[in-house]
Structures are given as structure tokens and as C-alpha cells.
Chain A
Amino acid sequence: MFGENLMIAFRALWANKMRSLLTTLGVVIGVAAVIAVVSIVQGLFFAINDLFKDLGSGWVRVMAQRPEDPEWEGRLVDPLYRRDADYLIRHASLVYDIAPVMFFQGVTIKSGEKRATTDLAGTVPNYMDVTSFYVDLGRFFTTIDDRVRRKVCTIGAGIIEKLELTEPAIGQQIQIAGSNFTIIGVMEARGELIGLNLDDYIFIPYGTARALFGEEQIFNTFWEIAADPDRLEMAKSQITDVMRRSRRLDPGDPDDFTLFTQEQITSVLGTISGYATTVAGGIAGVALFVGGIGIMNIMRAATTERTREIGIRKAVGARRDNILLQFLIEATILTVVGGGIGIAIGVGIGSAVASVIPQFPDAHVPVWAVIAGFSV
């Protein structure tokens, strides 16, 4: 008898193609919206996560930071001095190396008549080892370059395009903040993330940056640290202890610096990603809900007709369960078909968005979104 009911349901759907189509369309749009949006958001955050993974598990960043304490309100926090770094290297056994970075945003650069702005980092030769981020062409600057404050720079691959430099870029002169620099290397390309060019920066020696921008710019300095990856937590508390001693903080004083690790960034990203997914999913959920209302409306409009249909079927001998089963099967077919198409379209939109926008991360389709979409 189930086979008969299945056939009756199929026939009823086929006989009312437009109604079936509209109903399915509602499901399709809702499910596709949920899956596309969630996939895109997830893909985005997976890509961002990957970016930070490159930094390696032994990576710690130290920044000077005013404690969140009313007593510190308005007080100038000590920058990260060279002596702190030396002290840290000497006394923190789990710290392998430190690369100070003096960071500037929106620095004017020029090549011939072409003018642009970029991010500038003054740092030291071991920066590459500390951050596992290496030069691709030419060379990074040396300790000597740093000591004698040579006006040499290693550029991100994006600068070539930005300043319309002719290849090879190495050996060419560019102006940075009014001074002439020689390009000695090009860093490995990292590509783009949601329209953010990850290759848009210039490295110059730390000493050169200090000379160029002034001693007081030490307030713009943070440290990249390579520590023991197997004992990162211990390394972190060691860094904190040694830093406190170096900076002569009393036992009751709060830290006037802060530590970042990849794990922290990952977890922060995870939280943001969670919120973003919830919000985006929520919006898509509204779409699904609206789609659902649309379906309800179509169903309601169909009710008059269907009431008649039920009457006719009952008159010719359909039992209550025949009718119930028929409607249940109809709804199931519509949902499964609509859900299936919706998932396909959602995944399609996710991938399409990923491929149309250059360097956009691949959409990541979470299974839970598929299941959630389906169950609606």
C-alpha cells in the first residue's frame, strides 16, 4: 500500500507542477542562502587562520601596552627598549631569538613620478628566521646593513605593481619617506585575502628606520620572538617574569606589556568566526524563514483546492491514513528535492564567489550547515 501512496503523491505533485515548483523554489532559496553564506564566512576564517599558522607554533609577539588600570590612566608606558630584549635573551632560556619591529602605516613611497603609500617595518636580519617568512629574490639585509643604517630595502611583491617598477626590481632606487633606498630583495608572495593585499609592505633595517623616523619612534616597536614550541606556555610565563624584572615592575604592578601567540589569535579568530557565522547564518536563517512563510502562503492558497481534493479522495474510498501519507510523502519529496537543489546551489554560490573574486579563499562547506539547511 505504501507504493500506492507513493504513486498517488507523485501524481498529485506532477498534476500541480506550478505549485510544486514554487514550493520547491522556496526551499531551494532558503537552503541555498544558508549554505552559501555560511560557507563563505567559514572559508574566510579558515583562510585567515591559515595565514597565522605560517607563523609557527613557537611564535610570540610582545607589545608594550598600558595596563587597564585607572592608576595608569594618562601615563606613558615604557616602550620596548633594546636593553629589555638583551636582558630577555640572556635570562629567558626558552626564548631562542628576538626580532624587534618598528612599524609604520601609510608611509609615502615614490618611484619616478609614481607615488603610493604602504606599510613600513624596520627590523633586523633574523626577522626571517623568527617569523618563518623568507626572502624570495635577492637578499634580506644583514647585520652590517642594520649597524651602518644603510638605505636598503626588501620589498613585498605587491610593491612592484604598486610603483610600476620594471623587472627585475632588485637594484632599483625608490624613495621612502623622502630618502632614496636601493631594493635588495623581494619577499615571497602571500597573495591577497578579501581584497587585502598581503604583499604590500617594505622592510628596511631597524637602525635605518630609527635614524630616518627618529628615536622616539621606538614607541612603535613590537617584538617577534621565536621560543621553544614544545614549552610555549612555560616560555610565555618566563618571558613575562623576565620582562617584569627588566622593566623593574613591583610585584603588585600590572604588566605594562602584552604577549600574543598563534594560539591566542586562533582562538580570537575562532570567536569572531563564531559570531560572524552566527550573524551571517542568522541573516540567512531569516531568508530561510521568509522562504518558509512563502511556502506556507502557497500552501494556504492551495488549501481550498486541496480540501476539495481530500473530499473527492475520501468519497471514492481513501482512508485517513492514505490521505495523511500522501501529504507527508508530497512534503518530503518537495523538501528533499528542494533541499538537495538548495545545497547544490549553495555550494555552487560559495565556490563561485570564491573563484570570481581573485584570491578569495575557497568556500568551506560545513556539514552542520548542510544538515541544518536540510532539516528545515
Chain B
Amino acid sequence: MNNEALISVKDLKKLYEMGEEKVHALDGVSIDIERGEYVAIMGASGSGKSTLMNLIGCLDSPSSGSYVLNKREVSKMDDNELAAIRNKEIGFVFQTFNLLSRTSALGNVELPLIYSGVPRSERLARAREALKSVGLADRMHHRPNELSGGQRQRVAVARALVNEPSLLLADEPTGNLDSRTTAEIMDLFDKLNESGNTLIVVTHEDEIARHARRIIHLKDGKVISDEPVRQTVPS
């Protein structure tokens, strides 16, 4: 096992009990992800990719197994410690954007910094900087319903990046976008990865997965393949 890995998941299991029935959503998954990697997690619905994403994102705790994030064992942490990890180490980008609807772009991006107790002036400066970096310098005071889908997703990316997390976790980030804005967001992801961010994208679309450098396929809660992407020559 590689101690230098950003993420080291070992024999991770998640068991859901639905009445009598026990469902192994994850049935012993082991993955290492290095700093700076760009990984796509793929699989059909029910394959366990959402469960894996929730566990890696510290939104949920595993039934068994170990999960080391940035040299810290996460699997045994309590709720408050997990909240701190989510705040400092992980930036989320969701399919449905998940922005506070009646709050400005700036207010949304500010949110993680509020919870990590960053003073107001620094908070605003950093939130502005993050919005600028996703190309929304002129949309800071717009509310989500005044922004296009692609712009909303870029606000979400800015929010994910503002606390300088170790890991950017995107769950079907382009699922609600048209093809043009999808390209826009994937470009942004590529750039983020090039500038050193670690990205994990959960998707079921090959198009999206191909942007990553490594694709992990899940099926029935198990990893069925884990291989680097052959760099396709752009046509």
C-alpha cells in the first residue's frame, strides 16, 4: 500500500439493510488515488458508484474497511470530524448544482469559508478570486435563477475550490447540461487538473470519462476494471 497516496481505500464495504434483505452496495473495494490524478468512476446505476462517491466524499461512513484521506483514517471519524474534512479537504460538484437558490453567487461560494471560520474580508476576497478563476467575475451578485446552467455549475466549481481542497469530487457534473456547456465545464475540469488539482468524476457517460486519465469501472459493488485512459488524438 502506498502511504503517499492521497486516497487509500482498502476493502471498503457498505451494507444497507432493507428489512430482511441485506444489500451490499459496496462489496470490498480497494483503490489508491495519487495526488494530481484525474479519475473517472463509471458504472451502471446500482453498481455502487454513488455509494463509493458518498464514502470518498465523507458524506457517509462505511460498514467496514479502511479509508485514508490525506494520511488520516476517515472511516472511524464522527460526524463533526467528517464535517471538518468535507469543509477543508473536499470540494463537491453535483449534478443538480446544489446552490442555495436565493443567495447570490458570491454568497454561495462564501459558504464553505463561513463554516471554516475565515474572517469576512479574507472570505470575500477569496470567494471573488474563486469566481474570477471560473470566469464569472461579472456575475458575482447574480442569484442562481439569473444564471445559465453552465454558469451555475461554474459557481458550484468555484464553491468547491474556494477552500483549496485536496480533492474535487464531481457527481455527474454535466448530467443537467447541454453538449456545449458540457464541453465548457469539462474544459474547466481539464484545466483544473492541469494546474494540479486532484479530480474524481463519477459518470456513466464515456464522453465524460474519456477526459480523465484513469477509469475505474464498478459493477455490483466491486471494481471490475481499473486502467489508464489511452490518450485519444483529438479528431
Interface on A for B, CB 8 Å cutoff?
1, 4, 7-8, 11, 15-16, 305, 308-309, 311-322
A319 in contact with B80 given A16-B102, A312-B98, A314-B86 (CB within 8 Å): yes
Tell me the minimal C-beta distance from B89 to chain A in angstroms.
9
Which chain A residue shows the least CB distance to B94? A315
Lowest 9 CB-CB distances: which A-B pairs, in order? A317-B87, A15-B102, A316-B112, A319-B83, A317-B115, A317-B86, A312-B98, A319-B80, A316-B111
Q: Which of B79, B86, B98, B114 contacts A4 (CB 8 A)?
A: B114
B interface with A by C-beta (< 8 Å): 57, 59, 79-80, 83-84, 86-88, 92, 94, 98-103, 107, 111-112, 114-117, 159, 163
Given contacts A7-B114, A11-B107, contact A318 B99 (CB under 8 A): no
- Closest B residue to A311 by beta carbon equals B98
Partner of A15, one of B87, B98, B100, B116: B100
Q: How far is the CA of A319 from the CA of B114 in the complex (A)?
A: 12
Contacts of A316 in B (CB 8 A): 86-87, 92, 111-112, 115, 159
Contact A315 B98 (CB under 8 A): yes
Minimal Cβ-Cβ distance residue in A for B80: A319
Query: Separation in Å of the B110 CB from the closest CB of chain A?
Result: 10
Cα distance, A321 to B115, chains bound together (Å): 11
A313 touches B102 (CB 8 A): no
Residues of A within 8 A of B83 (CB): 314, 317-320, 322
Min CB–CB distance B9 → chain A (angstroms): 20
Inside 8 A of A4's CB, which chain B residues have their CB? 114-115, 117
B80 touches A1 (CB 8 A): no
Task: Return B170 CB to nearest CB of chain A, in Å.
Answer: 13
B94, B98, B99, B112: the one contacting A317 at CB < 8 Å is B112
> How far is it, in angstroms, between the C-alpha of A331 and the C-alpha of B163 when the chains are bound?
30
A4, A8, A319, A321 — which one has the most chain B CB atoms within 10 A of its CB? A319
What are 12 sample pairs from A and B whose C-beta atoms fall under 8 A apart? A8-B114, A15-B102, A305-B101, A308-B98, A312-B99, A312-B100, A316-B159, A317-B83, A317-B115, A317-B163, A318-B87, A322-B83
Q: Are A315 and B100 in contact (CB under 8 A)?
A: no
Residue numbers in A under 8 Å from B159 (CB-CB): 316
**Which one of B92, B94, B111 has the greatest number of beta carbons of chain A within 10 Å?**
B111
- Which listed residue (B80, B92, B107, B117) contacts A320, Cβ 8 A? B80
With both chains docked as a complex, state the minimum distance between the C-beta of A286 and any C-beta of chain B, in angstroms.
34
CA distance A319 to B87 in the complex (A): 9
Residues in A whose Cβ lies below 8 Å from that of B88: 317
Please name the residue on chain B nearest to A319 by beta carbon: B83
- Option from A305, A311, A313 in Cβ contact (under 8 Å) with B111: A313
Pick the contact of A315: B84, B92, B101, B163 (CB < 8 A).
B92
Q: Which residue of A lies closest to B120 (CB)?
A: A7
CB B86 to nearest CB in A, in angstroms, measures 5
A315 adjacent to B86 (CB under 8 Å): yes
Q: Give the residues in chain B near A305, CB-CB below 8 Å.
A: 101
- Minimum CB–CB distance from A18 to chain B (whole Å) comes to 10
A320 near B79 with CB under 8 A, answer yes
A7 and chain B: residue at smallest CB distance: B114
Residues on B with C-beta less than 8 A from A319 are 79-80, 83-84, 115
Contact of A11 among B57, B92, B103, B112 (CB under 8 A): B103
CB of A80, distance to nearest CB on chain B (Å):
78
Extra contacts besides A11-B103, A11-B107, A318-B83 (14): CB < 8 Å: A15-B100, A15-B103, A311-B98, A312-B99, A312-B100, A312-B111, A315-B92, A316-B92, A317-B83, A318-B87, A319-B79, A320-B79, A320-B80, A322-B115
Which interface residue of A4, A8, A312 has the most chain B CB atoms within 10 A? A312
Chain A residues within 8 Å of B117, by CB? 1, 4
In the complex, A7→B124 CA distance in Å?
14
A330 to chain B, nearest CB (A): 14
Nearest to B96 among chain A residues (CB) is A308
* A318 CB, nearest partner CB in chain B, Å: 5
Indicate if the CB atoms of B102 and A317 lie closer than 8 Å: no
* Alpha-carbon distance between A322 and B101 when the two chains are bound, in angstroms: 20
- A16 CB to closest chain B CB (Å) equals 6
Distance in Å from the Cβ of B158 to the closest Cβ of chain A?
12
Nearest B residue to A15 via CB reads B102
Expressed in whole angstroms, the Cα–Cα distance for A15 and B103 within the complex equals: 6
CB distance from A131 to the nearest CB of B (A): 69
How many Å from the CB of B230 to the closest CB on chain A? 34
Distance between Cα atoms of A318 and B84 in the complex (Å) = 8
Which of B98, B102, B115, B163 touches A318 (beta carbons < 8 Å)? B115
Distance in angstroms between the alpha carbons of A305 and B98 in the assembled complex: 11
A7 to B114 alpha-carbon distance, docked (Å): 9
